[in-house]
Amino acid sequence: MSFIEIAKTEEIPAGQMKGIKKDDKNILIANMAGKFYAIGGKCTHAGGDLAKGKLDGSIVTCPRHGSKFDVTTGKAAGGPAKQNEPSYAVKLQGNSIMVDIP
């Protein structure tokens, strides 16, 4: 695994999310009660920016057509999207959020 820093913990308060573009990947980072998760940041249905969507609990809703994804796993939780988002390993190093982006 090769973890890289993509954000600082203070940039993403609990219950919030942030979109990051790193190289050619769009990543969505979510803070769920102090635990950070990273999934793909573009909807698998029509490419909507998930960072502009609504986070309700662990479910993010795409602003384009309402597809839902679980930010803790990347699994599609409601259509029209049927394909899961990629999920990335996350670790904290001090106040740095480190993500393993293949």
Reported as a single tens digit per residue, the pLDDT across 15-63 is 999 999 988 899 999 999 999 999 999 999 999 999 999 999 999 999 9
Average pLDDT in the chain: 96
DSSP code of 1? -
pTM reported for the whole predicted model:
0.95
Percent of the chain topping pLDDT 70: 100
CATH number assigned to the domain comprising residue 71: 2.102.10.10
For residue 22, the model assigns a pLDDT of 87
For residue 1, the model assigns a pLDDT of 74
* Radius of gyration (C-alpha) of the chain in whole angstroms: 12
State the total domains in the chain. Answer: 1
For residue 85, the model assigns a pLDDT of 98
| Containing structural domain, residue 18 | 3-100
For residue 18, the model assigns a pLDDT of 98
Q: How far apart are CA 55 and CA 76, in angstroms?
A: 14
Per-residue pLDDT band at 7 (split at 50, 70, 90): very high
